[in-house]
Structure 1
Amino acid sequence: MGIKDRGKLKWQGAFFMPEHVKLLRDMHTDYHRISKPILDEYQIEEYENKICYAMEFVLSVKVTVWEDGFEKEYIGKVCRLDEIHKVIYLKLHNEEGYIMRIKFDTIVGVVVLE
């Protein structure tokens, strides 16, 4: 009589509860989180000048935004600038007609694409 081997079953992981899987995912995302960069007055003024320049000459910009511990980049054209509420409206290139609202205090980088 031969030995009955379970094959790949013995190498598969144990059963994980959905709560355990969620905790593992949350732990993984928390590990990759970064703190918000602190910008000085000169950097903020430089970003504002770049945004105004791009808006005046209808140039594309790449805006880096800090959202919930992660940096996201958006590429588009500045279509409106609201100085009272400190918001810029960016028309994204990849999505036809979609205008994104970005607050000044979340911006951590601006690059003008020519």
Structure 2
Amino acid sequence: MTIRDRGKLKWLPAHFMPEHRKMLREIERDMMRMQKPLLDEYQIEEMERQVCEAMEFAQPVKLTVWRDGFTYEEVGRVHYLEPIQKEVRLKTELGTISRIKFADIIAVEMKE
């Protein structure tokens, strides 16, 4: 008769509950967050000019977007500027349209 031992599984910490692991992941995520960069009015004006130019000439752009402490990059063509809700509608290469608040945009780069 052989002893069926679980090996390393037996010695793993058994007191870690799912709630505890979730809390540890949230703490690690909070430590990785960054504050939104402050833009002066000249930088905002330059970004507005680049977005309008990209829409006029149907050029692809790369928008760096700040959301919830993290930055994301969106690439596509500017489809429409919504003046009332102050958002940019970007048509991606996959054909989907993503809505981006202009206040969340921190950088605009023209793609060639």
User: What interval of TM-score do these two structures reach, taking the shorter chain for normalisation?
Assistant: 0.7 to 0.9
- After superposition, residues 1-114 of structure 1 pair within 5 angstroms as 7-9=7-9, 12-93=12-93, 95=94, 97-114=95-112
User: How far apart are 1:10 and its partner, in Å?
Assistant: 6.0
- CA deviations on 1:21-43 (whole Å, 9 max, x unpaired) are 01100011001000011100000
Structure 1 CA distance for aligned equivalents of residues 102 and 7 of structure 2: 58
Structure 2 CA distance for aligned equivalents of residues 6 and 80 of structure 1: 60
**Residue type of the alignment partner of 2:97:** I
Deviating 4+ runs (over 4 angstroms): none
- CA deviations on 1:35-71 (whole Å, 9 max, x unpaired) are 0111000000000011011111111000011100000
Normalising by structure 2, what TM-score? 0.88
**Residue type of the alignment partner of 2:91:** K
Structure 2 CA distance for aligned equivalents of residues 66 and 41 of structure 1: 18
User: How far apart are 1:12 and its partner, in Å?
Assistant: 3.1
Q: Structure 2 unaligned runs (5+)? A: none
Aligned residues: 108
* Identity %, equivalent residues: 55
Q: Which moved more, 1:14-23 or 1:70-79?
A: 14-23
Q: Structure 1 unaligned runs (5+)? A: none
**Gap change, CA 1:10 and 1:58, over 3 Å in 2:** same
For 1:76, what is the secondary structure of its paired residue?
A: strand
Structure 2 CA distance for aligned equivalents of residues 68 and 6 of structure 1: 42
Normalising by structure 1, what TM-score? 0.86
User: How far apart are 1:6 and its partner, in Å?
Assistant: 7.4
For 2:36, what is the secondary structure of its paired residue?
A: coil
For 1:35, what is the secondary structure of its paired residue?
A: coil
Structure 2 CA distance for aligned equivalents of residues 9 and 63 of structure 1: 46
